[in-house]
């Protein structure tokens, strides 16, 4: 607009000048031109409306933000066996009072504490027991830069921290973070706290699934960080409740700080176990607590591995095999004796599909891989198995499961009396003889124990359950036995009281004696009687689940409130449910808890409680230091008789990365300083002498404007100039 | 024509006596209920063309294998609830059989679906015989739309005890056994070669029928097939468990 006006005025002056430029009288010509130029300038002044602004200005002090780390990692020692990082910081603040006062003379000083968030703080009241649950240095710096008072320019930021960032900077300074810092346009000066204790080895991360399958390889991914080590071989050890299950050695050479290790092992039994991954604590390490990490792993079965050893093919064998083979939860390994030494197949061995009975492989090498061993009408004598019977009994006592199914080669008739197998059976045996079997048909009847026991639960309703059992076809005969063993329970018996089904426990294992070779009657014969095979299928599925201690069928249970408890937080608590072996609620049971840790396997009393009428109780344990624990709960009756025992595992470990990844990270502080053209300082450096940015910034106070054109004098001059120009032009004879 | 088999001069009385003696060696036995017994289906046609054959098969099984068998063959009607006490039944004739009633077919269907095993043995051993047609009709009524299918030579039936390379019977009329699977197992087996006839003896212990064209070697193969059929009925696919495979493959190569 202005340019247009100037151009228009210039053009007008030029056009008028053209009218008299041929005039030989130069003075006249220049006089007229001067008048016209003066008029044009005056018109321009009127158009532009110029004025004068008067301002009252003062210089503004820039701002310095001092940030002090108040996260929990500051509670770790600043140097091996030295004061905490927080104490070190307080000491620094005390020593720098004069320095800080000098700084305050030059700049507006804003003091903040920071952890996950930024909050105002006072230099004289920095916390000796910082409680911040996380550290986010980048957020603290950007917040401090933008939250200044009165728009003061930022002269710089000072950060005093151990650098253990567990937010955006945990993996180092990213290009995006560096760009964000550069935008601050102010230097960052960093004071690393605890940098003297740079030597540290830590199990930084342990990654493993929540559960694993027994006899299947488990891989534990471990991330070890090593700082301050030059060259050393470090063993990384995985322990299950104190016992080493896997180990690998990493070579730490100082070229990098992170080392990934894969530890593999194969769990050999089910349950919940506390594992610990650890590396040694070397002399001079900043933190010893982060050299081990614990976790709880639940080991479950993918399938129940059953070994079925059969003395001879029969319909009882056939229906059981068919059931087990169809069950997707069962991995069945079976061995049938198809030919005895007395049989004559009229052929050479090569014409037969028979294989040698691999007794050594099964009963010595592979035995522990099975969850359940079933002897179905099997006599061990012809196969020289006496040497393996001890091992089978030990397998049962160690937590295995064993079932013997009747027949003319079973129990007493199978010559097991006086063998280690008799020791684990729930029934005692008779010497071999004609009384070993009783061919009197047996009509089934549930016992009191059978009415409550999950193995014999065909229906949830008691009367219906009883009806279902009593309606099943009579069994054609039973094996006879001696007296029951202590703790054994008869679940089914004949009408006249002969035991049919007996269960019990041997050591940590469970055993079952089915004194009949005709349980298939409950399937096929029952189907012929329009009852269907459901009773048979339900019975065997329940029996297998009970034998292998399916958690759903365990009479006494204990469960930690959580898998992991925070040290110093709520103490560990256990929920206990007490049922007798008859599955009735054990109200009033005396419950006691002992616990052992991975580092101290000796069980120590940890608490006691009294079960309520429903058999339930909660036991709160005392606060425990960090570690992996196994709690064993024992329930007793008032007379001292043991009702049952159950176990659970839990860990006491910090969940926060703040306490896990607590090694000082001066490298992070160095990167921050470099990105902002600041630097890392020593504790002895004075803040006041640091090269803060000191931008000239004035603050405008009062402001007044005075227009230069808005008065009568400008108008009068304009009239006089135009009038003079017109008069002279007329007088000198121009148009 | 009846031939004497000098190595097996056993009369029925001797046979029964031998079986009793075999049973007696298991002093603590549970009795017949624990032994494997065959049931002969009593249908409306000539239901028992080989009266001695199944007893003989039971005896051979007991003599050659660890299976305890009963020499007594139960003749039983399809509608008899006691059929379910005999998971192995034989349906046989040498001529066409009147079609069983629907209720009988339904019962047979239940029998097979709950685990029963049915051997259809064509005693006439003639291709396209009346019995064969009857058998195929019965099968298609038991499983609507179902048909007998060839039992492949690598089926576990041919290696359940003996390693066999094919079927056998009194004659070699059909090159394959046929069958129908239910629930993943062979529930119905059809033999067109008079399998049981190859084992039948008269009251003097003489082989009742000549075995053609293979003679006594073929008879032995028929006995072995009978043993395998019973072993399969009792053990199902046991011989296909992983542990057996290397042994069987090695012997197959010999």
- Is the minimum CB–CB distance between A348 and chain B shorter than 8 Å? no
pLDDT of A56 reads 67
More confident residue, A417 or A33: A417
- Is the minimum CB–CB distance between A331 and chain B shorter than 8 Å? no
CB atoms A432 and B28 under 8 Å: yes
Dihedral of the alpha carbons of B228, B230, B231, B232, in degrees to the nearest 10: 80
**Residue the block writes with tokens 């049989």:** A343
C-alpha A645/C-alpha A647 separation (Å) is: 7
The confidence band for A138, taking pLDDT boundaries of 50, 70 and 90, is very high
The predicted model scores a pTM of: 0.66
CB atoms B64 and A318 under 8 Å: no
Residues A112 and A226 in one domain: no
% helix, strand, coil for chain B, step of 5: 40, 15, 45
For A172-181, A404-413, A715-724, B132-141, which range has the lowest pLDDT when averaged over its residues? A715-724
Q: Please name the member of A313, A340, A437 whose beta carbon is closest to the beta carbon of B28.
A: A437
- Domain CATH number, residue A287: 2.60.40.10
C-alpha A669/C-alpha A110 separation (Å) is: 20
The proportion of chain B whose per-residue pLDDT surpasses 70, expressed as a percent, equals 85
Residue B25 has pLDDT above 50, yes or no: no
Residues A509 and A573 in one domain: no
- Is the minimum CB–CB distance between B234 and chain A shorter than 8 Å? yes
- Domain CATH number, residue A672: 3.40.50.410
pLDDT of A197 reads 64
The confidence band for A707, taking pLDDT boundaries of 50, 70 and 90, is confident
Minimal C-alpha gap between B165 and chain A (Å): 11
Please indicate, yes or no, if residue A703 is contained in any of the structural domains.
Answer: no
Please indicate, yes or no, if residue A349 is contained in any of the structural domains.
Answer: no
C-alpha A118/C-alpha B230 separation (Å) is: 84
Residue A6 has pLDDT above 80, yes or no: no
- Tell me if residue A176 falls in helix, strand or coil: helix
Burial class for A106, CB neighbours closer than 10 Å (0-12, 13-18, 19+)? middle
Q: Please name the member of B234, B239, B244 whose beta carbon is closest to the beta carbon of A318.
A: B234
Residues A381 and A528 in one domain: yes
What is the 8-class DSSP label of residue A382? G
Q: Please name the member of B28, B87, B114 whose beta carbon is closest to the beta carbon of A413.
A: B28
Q: Judge if the upstream peptide bond of residue A54 is cis by omega within 30 degrees of 0.
A: no
CB atoms B28 and A439 under 8 Å: no
C-alpha A290/C-alpha A287 separation (Å) is: 6
Last residue of a domain, one of A484, A516, A547: A547
A-B C-beta contacts closer than 8 Å: 154
Q: Are A317 and B234 in contact (CB under 8 A)?
A: yes
Q: Which of A308, A321, A338 is the mutation pick for testing B, counting most B CBs within 10 A?
A: A338
The confidence band for A462, taking pLDDT boundaries of 50, 70 and 90, is confident
Residue B32 has pLDDT above 80, yes or no: no
Residue A13 has pLDDT above 80, yes or no: no
Q: Are A319 and B115 in contact (CB under 8 A)?
A: yes
- Is the minimum CB–CB distance between B72 and chain A shorter than 8 Å? no
Burial pattern A521-540, b for ≥16 Cβ within 10 A else e, equals bbbbbbbbeebebebbbbbb
Crossing angle between the packed helical segments A175-182 and A666-675, to the nearest 10 degrees: 50
CB atoms A358 and B162 under 8 Å: no
Residues A647 and A673 in one domain: no
Domains of chain B: 6-253 (3.40.50.12140)
pLDDT of A574 reads 93
Minimal C-alpha gap between B70 and chain A (Å): 12
Rounded mean pLDDT, A275-282: 92
Please, what is the average pLDDT of chain A? 87
The domain of A230 spans: 200-212+220-294
**A351 token code pair:** 């014409």
Residues A45 and A87 in one domain: no
Residue B3 has pLDDT above 70, yes or no: no
C-alpha A231/C-alpha A251 separation (Å) is: 7
Please indicate, yes or no, if residue A245 is contained in any of the structural domains.
Answer: yes
CB atoms B235 and A336 under 8 Å: yes
Please indicate, yes or no, if residue A254 is contained in any of the structural domains.
Answer: yes
Residues A325 and A465 in one domain: yes
Please indicate, yes or no, if residue A352 is contained in any of the structural domains.
Answer: no
More confident residue, B196 or A433: B196
Residues A529 and A623 in one domain: no
C-alpha A129/C-alpha A116 separation (Å) is: 16
How many folded domains does chain A comprise? 5
Query: How many C-alpha atoms does B170 have within 13 Å on its Cβ side?
Result: 25
CB atoms A317 and B235 under 8 Å: yes
Q: Are A690 and A676 in contact (CB under 8 A)?
A: no
- Tell me if residue B159 falls in helix, strand or coil: helix
Residue A127 has pLDDT above 80, yes or no: yes
Residues in contact with B113: Cβ distance below 8 Å, sequence separation at least 6, in sequence order: B182, B183, B187
More confident residue, A639 or B252: A639
CA distances from B125 to A188, A447, B89, B135, B151 (A): 103, 56, 19, 13, 18
Q: Are A424 and A402 in contact (CB under 8 A)?
A: yes
Chain A residues with beta carbon closer than 8 angstroms to that of B114: 523-524, 527-528, 532-533
Run of H or E including A357 = none
CB atoms A312 and B66 under 8 Å: yes
Q: Please name the member of A338, A517, A518 whose beta carbon is closest to the beta carbon of B161.
A: A338
The proportion of chain A whose per-residue pLDDT surpasses 90, expressed as a percent, equals 43
Residues in contact with A504: Cβ distance below 8 Å, sequence separation at least 6, in sequence order: A425, A426, A484, A485, A487, A488, A489, A510, A511, A512
C-alpha A557/C-alpha A214 separation (Å) is: 20
Minimal C-alpha gap between A437 and chain B (Å): 6
Rounded mean pLDDT, A473-497: 93
Residues in contact with A641: Cβ distance below 8 Å, sequence separation at least 6, in sequence order: none
Q: Please name the member of A313, A347, A358 whose beta carbon is closest to the beta carbon of B162.
A: A347
The confidence band for A256, taking pLDDT boundaries of 50, 70 and 90, is confident
Q: Which of B22, B25, B34 is the mutation pick for testing A, counting most A CBs within 10 A?
A: B34
Last residue of a domain, one of A547, A572, A587: A547
CA A389, distance to chain mean position in Å, is 44
Rounded mean pLDDT, B43-62: 94
What size, in residues, is chain A?
Answer: 735
pLDDT of A16 reads 67
- Domain CATH number, residue A631: 2.60.40.2550
For A651-660, what is each residue's pLDDT tens digit?
Answer: 888 777 777 7
pLDDT of A393 reads 96
For A375-379, A626-630, B100-104, B212-216, which range has the lowest pLDDT when averaged over its residues? A626-630
C-alpha A320/C-alpha B115 separation (Å) is: 11
CB atoms B235 and A523 under 8 Å: no
Q: Are B122 and B46 in contact (CB under 8 A)?
A: no
CB atoms A318 and B115 under 8 Å: yes
**Residue the block writes with tokens 């095979």:** A533
Range of A197-206, A697-706, A726-735 with top mean pLDDT: A197-206
Residues A32 and A125 in one domain: no
- Is the minimum CB–CB distance between A362 and chain B shorter than 8 Å? no
Please, what is the average pLDDT of chain B? 86
Rounded mean pLDDT, A648-674: 84
pLDDT of B24 reads 39
Residues A165 and A271 in one domain: no
Q: Please name the member of A342, A347, A527 whose beta carbon is closest to the beta carbon of B110.
A: A527
Minimal C-alpha gap between A243 and chain B (Å): 34
Q: Are A211 and A300 in contact (CB under 8 A)?
A: yes
Residues A683 and A622 in one domain: no
Run of H or E including A82 = none
Residues A328 and A455 in one domain: yes
Residue A417 has pLDDT above 70, yes or no: yes
**ipTM of the shown complex:** 0.89
Q: Strand A108-114 vs strand A63-69: parallel, antiparallel, or unpaired?
A: parallel
Residues A79 and A150 in one domain: yes
Please indicate, yes or no, if residue A146 is contained in any of the structural domains.
Answer: yes
The confidence band for A25, taking pLDDT boundaries of 50, 70 and 90, is low
Please indicate, yes or no, if residue A299 is contained in any of the structural domains.
Answer: no
The confidence band for A213, taking pLDDT boundaries of 50, 70 and 90, is confident
Please indicate, yes or no, if residue A603 is contained in any of the structural domains.
Answer: yes
């Amino acid at each position: 607009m202005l340019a247009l006006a100037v151009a228009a005025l210039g053009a007008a002056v030029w056009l008028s000048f053209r009218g008299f430029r041929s005039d030989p009288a130069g003075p006249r010509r220049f006089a007229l031109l001067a008048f016209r130029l003066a008029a044009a300038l005056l018109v321009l002044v009127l158009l532009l409306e110029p004025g004068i602004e008067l301002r009252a200005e003062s210089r503004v002090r820039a701002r310095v933000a001092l940030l002090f780390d108040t996260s929990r990692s500051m509670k770790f020692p600043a140097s091996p066996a030295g004061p905490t990082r927080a104490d070190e910081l307080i000491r620094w603040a005390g020593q720098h009072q004069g320095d800080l006062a000098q700084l305050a003379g030059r700049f507006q000083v804003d003091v903040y504490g920071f952890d996950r968030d930024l909050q105002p703080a006072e230099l004289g009241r920095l916390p000796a027991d910082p409680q911040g649950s996380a550290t986010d240095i980048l957020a603290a710096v950007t917040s401090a830069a933008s939250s200044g008072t009165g728009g003061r320019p930022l002269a710089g930021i000072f950060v005093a921290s151990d650098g253990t960032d567990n937010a955006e900077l945990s993996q180092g300074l990213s290009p995006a973070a560096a760009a964000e810092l550069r935008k601050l346009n102010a230097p960052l000066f960093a004071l690393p706290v605890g940098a003297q204790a740079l030597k540290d080895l830590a199990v930084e991360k342990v990654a493993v699934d929540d559960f694993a399958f027994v006899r299947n390889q488990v891989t534990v991914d471990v991330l070890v960080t090593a700082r301050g080590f030059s060259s050393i071989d470090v063993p990384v050890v995985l322990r299950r409740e104190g016992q080493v299950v896997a180990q690998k050695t990493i070579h730490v050479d100082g070229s990098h700080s992170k080392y990934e290790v894969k530890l593999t092992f194969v769990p050999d039994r089910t349950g919940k176990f506390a594992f610990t991954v650890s590396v040694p604590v070397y002399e001079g390490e900043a933190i010893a607590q982060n050299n081990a990490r614990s976790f709880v792993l639940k080991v479950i079965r993918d399938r129940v591995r059953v070994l079925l050893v059969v003395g001879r093919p029969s319909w009882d064998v056939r229906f059981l095999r068919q059931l087990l083979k169809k069950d997707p939860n069962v991995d069945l390994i079976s061995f049938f004796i198809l030919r005895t030494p007395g049989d004559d197949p009229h052929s050479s061995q090569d014409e037969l599909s028979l294989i040698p009975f691999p007794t050594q492989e099964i009963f010595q090498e592979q035995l522990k891989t099975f969850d359940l061993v079933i002897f179905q009408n099997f006599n061990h004598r012809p196969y020289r198995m006496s040497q393996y019977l001890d091992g089978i009994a030990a397998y049962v006592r160690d937590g295995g499961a064993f079932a013997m199914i009747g027949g003319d080669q079973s129990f007493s008739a199978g010559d097991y009396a006086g063998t280690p197998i008799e020791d684990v059976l729930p029934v005692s045996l008779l010497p071999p003889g004609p009384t070993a079997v009783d061919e009197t048909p047996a009509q089934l009847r549930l016992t009191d124990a059978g009415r409550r026991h999950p193995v014999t639960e065909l229906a949830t309703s008691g009367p219906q359950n009883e009806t279902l059992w009593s309606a099943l076809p009579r069994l054609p005969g039973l094996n006879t036995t001696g007296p029951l063993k202590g703790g054994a329970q008869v679940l089914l018996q004949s009408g006249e009281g002969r035991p049919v089904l007996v269960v019990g426990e041997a050591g940590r294992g469970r055993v079952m004696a089915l004194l009949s070779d005709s349980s298939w009657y409950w399937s096929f014969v029952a189907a012929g009687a329009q009852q269907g095979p459901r009773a048979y299928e339900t019975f065997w599925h329940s029996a297998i689940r009970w034998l292998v201690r399916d958690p759903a069928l365990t009479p006494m249970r204990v469960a930690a409130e959580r898998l992991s408890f925070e040290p110093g937080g709520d103490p560990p608590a256990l929920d206990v449910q007490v049922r007798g072996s008859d599955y009735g609620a054990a109200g009033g049971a005396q419950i006691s808890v002992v616990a052992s840790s991975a580092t101290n396997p000796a069980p120590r009393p940890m608490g006691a409680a009294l079960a309520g009428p429903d058999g339930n109780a909660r036991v709160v344990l005392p606060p425990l230091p960090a570690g992996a624990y196994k709690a064993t709960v024992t329930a007793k009756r008032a007379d001292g008789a043991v009702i049952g025992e159950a176990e659970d595992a839990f860990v006491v470990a910090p969940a926060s990365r703040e306490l896990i990844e607590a090694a000082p990270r001066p490298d992070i502080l160095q990167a921050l300083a470099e990105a902002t053209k600041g630097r890392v300082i020593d504790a002895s450096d004075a803040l006041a002498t640091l090269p803060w940015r000191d931008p000239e910034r004035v603050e405008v106070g009062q402001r007044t404007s005075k227009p230069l054109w808005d008065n009568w004098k400008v108008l009068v001059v304009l009239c006089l100039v135009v009038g003079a120009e017109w008069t002279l032009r007329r007088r000198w004879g121009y148009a | 024509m009846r031939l004497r088999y000098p190595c097996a001069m056993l009369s029925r009385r001797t046979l029964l006596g031998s079986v009793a003696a075999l049973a007696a060696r298991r002093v603590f036995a549970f009795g017949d209920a624990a032994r494997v017994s065959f049931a002969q289906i009593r249908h409306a046609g000539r239901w028992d063309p080989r009266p001695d054959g199944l007893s003989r098969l039971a005896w051979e099984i007991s003599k050659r294998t660890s299976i305890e068998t009963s020499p007594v063959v139960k003749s039983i009607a399809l509608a008899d609830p006691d059929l379910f006490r005999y998971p192995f039944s034989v349906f046989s004739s040498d001529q066409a059989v009147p079609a069983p009633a629907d209720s009988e077919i339904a019962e047979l269907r239940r029998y097979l679906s709950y685990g029963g095993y049915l051997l259809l043995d064509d005693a006439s051993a003639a291709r396209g015989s009346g019995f064969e047609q009857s058998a195929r009709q019965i099968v298609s009524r038991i499983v609507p739309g179902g048909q007998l299918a060839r039992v492949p030579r690598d089926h576990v039936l041919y290696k359940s005890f003996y390693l066999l390379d094919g079927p056998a019977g009194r004659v070699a009329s059909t090159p394959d056994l046929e069958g129908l699977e239910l629930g993943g197992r062979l529930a119905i087996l059809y033999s067109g070669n008079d399998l049981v006839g190859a084992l039948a003896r008269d009251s003097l212990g003489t082989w009742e029928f000549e075995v053609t064209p293979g003679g006594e070697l073929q008879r032995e193969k028929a006995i072995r097939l009978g043993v395998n059929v019973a072993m399969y009925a009792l053990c199902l696919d046991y011989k296909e468990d992983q542990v057996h495979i290397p042994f069987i493959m090695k012997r197959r190569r010999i």
